[in-house]
Structure 1
Amino acid sequence: MPRTTSPPKTPADSLHRQGYNFIAPGSSAAVKPCMWCKRALRGGDQCYKHQFYGIESWRCVQMTPTLRCNQRCLFCWRSMEHEITRETELTPEQIIAAIPRMQRKGLSGDKPWTDPARWKTATSNPNQYAISLSGEPTLYSRLPELIDLLRQAGNSVFVVSNGTIPPMIQKIRPTQLYLSLDAADLTGYTRLCRPAGDPAAMWKNIRTSLSLLPKKEEEGTRTAVRTTLVKGYNDRTAADLAGLIREASPRFIEIKGYMYLGYSRMRLPETAVPDMDEIRTFARTIAEHADYQIRDENAPSRVVCLERKP
């Protein structure tokens, strides 16, 4: 008889099957090693963060304190279809204590093929934490404490936020703060990012968060704006986006092409994927209008990095 698999009973069950390792029952705080971490462990290629910012991919922990999100972006490859809306918040100490065990669990299947030295550092001495797995991290009420504790031992912490909660953006002190900016106006934002709250209020909050970036740099946080380029949605907005970016003046801009992966395939057609030349052209227009320079690019990840001119 053919083998059958029982369907997942809860959203957490479905996400666990996708490789999410939850830290505790009732919480959506999770760790999930990314593809680049696993490739680097085997001595292979590293992700574009290594190329752009010097991160050692095998020592990077991809995690989140919450999977809740207040946007439903069309291009998101993560699973909104199995969304967790209610949870018990863990303390920063509980999350940090569990991370080594969760990282080892997520990488255990790769151990026979890994470089022994890299395996040891990956599982016992990670030094980079990407708070970007899924969800909106600023919805976690103790995010500033979590970041501060992770950085105490000299680790770097990257946070990716949609910028809809400016008071939390004011409080946090990561090594690098990414703000997503995927539309040039309220109409485009509503269409592409599908906010769960009042679109006008959330768009206003994003603009406020962008205005905080100069202050974040004064505090020692490296700043970046990331735009996911989706063909047919925001690929004709470069000049208008550049105006918003020029006002925010982040140190870096990343123009990253949408990729037809995961659950986004349920929301967008494959024709929404821009090719690398289209991403380069968009980035050059941003650079010209915002007074930035092209710093680097990574074709496998479909991303072009721009840096503010001195």
Structure 2
Amino acid sequence: MAHDNWSLMALLPLEIFDLVSLWHTYRIPIILTTFTILIILRTALHIRASREKGIASLPPSPKFSIERKGFLGDTKASEKAPRRIVGGLKKRNSLGENATPEDQKVQVLVFFSSLTGTTEKTAKLFTEQVIKSQADSAVFHEAQLLDLSYIDYDDYFITPPKDKSSIQYFYIILIPTYNIDTVLDNFLEHLRETHNDFRIDTAPLARLLGYSVFGFGDREGWPTEEEGFCSQAREVDKWMAKLTGRKRAFPLGMGDAKTDALERLREWREGVEDVLANIAETGGLGEGVVGSGDAVESDVEDEDVAEDGGELLFEEQTLARRKTKAQKSGLNDLEDIGGTLNKSTSMSDSSEPLEIDFTTYSKGAQPPSPAITKEMVPKNSPTYDALTKQGYSIVGSHSGVKICRWTKSALRGRGSCYKYSFYGIASHQCMETTPSLSCSNKCVFCWRHGTNPVGTTWRWVIDPPELIFEGVKAGHYKKIKMMRGVPGVRAERFAEAMRIRHCALSLVGEPIFYPHINAFTAMLHKERISSFLVCNAQHPDQLAALNPVTQLYVSIDASNRESLRRIDRPLHRDFWERFQRCLDILRERRFEQRTVFRLTLVKGFNIDDEAEGYADLVQRGLPAFVEVKGVTYCGTTSSAGAGLTMQNVPFYEEVCAFVEALNTALARRGLDYGIAAEHAHSCCVLIASTRFKREGKWHTRIDYEKFFELLESGEKFTPEDYTGPETPEWATWGNGGFDPRDERVHRRGKNKVALTESQGALMKGKD
């Protein structure tokens, strides 16, 4: 190989041969010299650049400053002097890094809460005015109005809505303040929990363009802000400032509902509209906007002192942040309840029980809360007025009783409800009551129109069970006596109605929410009153501690997590886990008492393609019975706001088709169930375990006397031990379920006719 190389070199010209020889001889000095020269050049260039940068950073000369300020009268006089910006970096364009306002769209969302309807009307008018003011702008989508009672907070107050990348959102919140527990308490708790949740970003709503809050108050009840004027609005404003990264676009507005609320709202709206106009022009809130984050305007929202570039922000507010304002318990409703408000509720009674936490059943014990003396439903509250107008008798501070339409119907011989067909309960001898008017769900089909209190913890005065028991009986009998002069009431049934034999703990709210529910049911059983208790599957600890009742219901309103969230709108974050745990508890107790799954079918929500899902839930809980009932529409504005209309009410034929599909799905899983009975008039069908089928006949009714004997014996017993007589033929599947001894009266002037088998089969859910 070496021979070949020398042969090739021999062919090269003499000059090239000499260069190659020189390179091999001096290559090391050449490389070192070249490297040294490059290092020297690089160092010289670096020194020169540093010197130029230092000169550029020096302050301007006096002459330059004078010229900039305009004292020399030249062309530079019109230029502004450089500004020193204190408080952080310049804010980005809220519409995007490179976007212009014309490229983006702004969606204004107006949130409100209303109990008596006044704030709702004001919010609607306000939204119309905002829409009108933006009519000539191509930047804005039409403003939307949203009721806080009918939205999922996770969709709006953990992250902004995710529709299109080109849409930015601006929140406007209009709320009154109440002296009772309402959805606003839950809303505030949600904001507080979101801010304190370590899994969520400190400012998860920072992508909002901005927000602003207006509160309606009553200075007659609360003369000053320190004494509680618009306290809930101020709390919302504080937490929104934290969650948005201080994007308060306009200061908190407040108005007295009795005097100047509309005038103050008009002024505040004009200010908000100016901010929105500025957003449309510049794409952001700008810098130095009044109310865009100063801590003094939001009380203690800046407890965690912010730092930016080594300069302490808002340091002059240190003293203000240390001030803590005591929460007033004597809060008055500040919407439109006038001079009947309570102004003297006290928090000084330390003998009251501590708040009971029902929120996190699976977590460790929480520290005790301060003593609570607030009433759930004060007599001078709008909740009390709303419930009494609906026919409730309020007992104590948190219980209620009411007679249903089936009680009135049975007294007149026009038929009892499905409980008579299925279980032998005569409606005119049944008392419908609840020891807790508060609930932890906001179901779209709730009959109470959102007027009952809501909450995840018991934080009210606790009435003794003796007071509730005697009070609800007195209230029930009083209402029965009022039926004495109603035409058509049968004397023998009126006499029977004066002896309560059954109690349906399903009126409103959550019965097992009441801390002394076992003592209350014991009083019922002592007087040989059967107990039919309905719970919403959100309180597993209380359900597990419940003593046996005659029949235990769990509401199963959806077959999956998403449907349950849309229909029941639960307040608990871990609602699905709670729900599943309650099903497990029913499975564990299925041989101690009769257990029932109650399915309320809402067309468009939980019927289509969900029979298989419900079958899985039945397989998990193995209840004794499954009641399938079509929803009853109340025809209220609140229901419409929740997305429920008459179109969501299934016809009876649709309910029957669903029941057959569910029964088939159960059989496919090898579960021993069958369709046992029906009550077409209630749009209700009963699926029963074959445990209650003897010699080919269904025995779904209850031997109530036997139940009390077994209960009093103190011995263990099973549901089969107090199974009653055979289910009547007229109540079984395919026969309508209307008692032939009664007569059916059609509405709208139709003649009274006995319900026949064919009529029962054709009844619709709305009847």
TM-score over 0.5 (shorter chain): yes
Q: Name the structure 2 match of 1:135.
A: 509
Check the 8 A contact 1:21/1:102 in 2, yes or no. yes
Q: Name the structure 2 match of 1:149.
A: 523
* SS of structure 1 residue aligned to 2:577: helix
- Tell me which amino acid in the other structure corresponds to 2:650: P
Decide whether aligned partners of structure 1 residues 181 and 187 sit closer, same or farther in structure 2, where only a CA change above 3 A counts: same
- Structure 2 residue 410 is matched with structure 1 residue 34: no
Which one of 603, 613, 616 corresponds to residue 240 of structure 1?
613
CA–CA separation in structure 2 for the residues paired with 1:30 and 1:185: 32
* SS of structure 1 residue aligned to 2:570: coil
* 1:1-310 matched pairs, under 5 angstroms: 10-24=382-396, 27-83=397-453, 87-113=460-486, 114-123=489-498, 125-172=499-546, 173-198=548-573, 201-219=574-592, 221-236=593-608, 237-261=610-634, 263=636, 264-267=639-642, 268-291=644-667, 292-310=673-691
Check the 8 A contact 1:28/1:84 in 2, yes or no. no
Check the 8 A contact 1:37/1:46 in 2, yes or no. yes
Check the 8 A contact 1:214/1:249 in 2, yes or no. yes
Check the 8 A contact 2:511/2:535 in 1, yes or no. yes
Cα deviation, residue 205, structure 1: 1.1
CA–CA separation in structure 2 for the residues paired with 1:88 and 1:122: 32
- Tell me which amino acid in the other structure corresponds to 1:62: E
- Tell me which amino acid in the other structure corresponds to 1:45: G
Cα deviation, residue 106, structure 1: 1.9
CA–CA separation in structure 1 for the residues paired with 2:473 and 2:615: 40
Check the 8 A contact 1:12/1:84 in 2, yes or no. no
TM-score (ref. length: structure 1): 0.91
Check the 8 A contact 1:62/1:129 in 2, yes or no. yes
Check the 8 A contact 2:612/2:665 in 1, yes or no. yes
Decide whether aligned partners of structure 1 residues 84 and 262 sit closer, same or farther in structure 2, where only a CA change above 3 A counts: farther
Q: Percent identity?
A: 33
CA–CA separation in structure 2 for the residues paired with 1:166 and 1:82: 22
- Tell me which amino acid in the other structure corresponds to 1:191: R
Aligned residues: 298
Consecutive unaligned residues in structure 1, runs of 5 or more: 1-6
CA–CA separation in structure 2 for the residues paired with 1:262 and 1:107: 27
Deviation string 1:96-126 (CA, Å, 9 cap, x unpaired) is 1122310122223311233233223322x20
Decide whether aligned partners of structure 1 residues 87 and 35 sit closer, same or farther in structure 2, where only a CA change above 3 A counts: farther
* SS of structure 2 residue aligned to 1:111: coil
Cα deviation, residue 192, structure 1: 1.2
Check the 8 A contact 2:532/2:549 in 1, yes or no. yes
* SS of structure 1 residue aligned to 2:650: coil
TM-score (ref. length: structure 2): 0.38
CA–CA separation in structure 1 for the residues paired with 2:473 and 2:493: 15
Which entry has the higher C-alpha Rg, 1 or 2? 2
The answer to which of 243-252 and 102-111 deviates more is: 102-111
Check the 8 A contact 2:587/2:620 in 1, yes or no. no
Q: Name the structure 1 match of 2:293.
A: none
CA–CA separation in structure 2 for the residues paired with 1:96 and 1:135: 17
Cα deviation, residue 141, structure 1: 0.8
Cα deviation, residue 79, structure 1: 2.7
CA–CA separation in structure 2 for the residues paired with 1:154 and 1:104: 17
- Tell me which amino acid in the other structure corresponds to 2:519: E
Check the 8 A contact 1:33/1:106 in 2, yes or no. yes
Consecutive unaligned residues in structure 2, runs of 5 or more: 1-335, 338-380, 668-672, 692-767
CA–CA separation in structure 1 for the residues paired with 2:407 and 2:450: 24
* SS of structure 1 residue aligned to 2:444: coil
Cα deviation, residue 151, structure 1: 1.1
* SS of structure 2 residue aligned to 1:110: coil
CA–CA separation in structure 2 for the residues paired with 1:48 and 1:265: 27
* SS of structure 2 residue aligned to 1:281: helix
Cα deviation, residue 142, structure 1: 0.9
Structure 1: 4+ residue segments shifted above 4 A: 84-87
CA–CA separation in structure 2 for the residues paired with 1:154 and 1:164: 29
Cα deviation, residue 262, structure 1: 5.3
Cα deviation, residue 70, structure 1: 0.5
Decide whether aligned partners of structure 1 residues 104 and 262 sit closer, same or farther in structure 2, where only a CA change above 3 A counts: farther
- Tell me which amino acid in the other structure corresponds to 2:409: R
Q: Name the structure 1 match of 2:240.
A: none
CA–CA separation in structure 1 for the residues paired with 2:519 and 2:537: 18
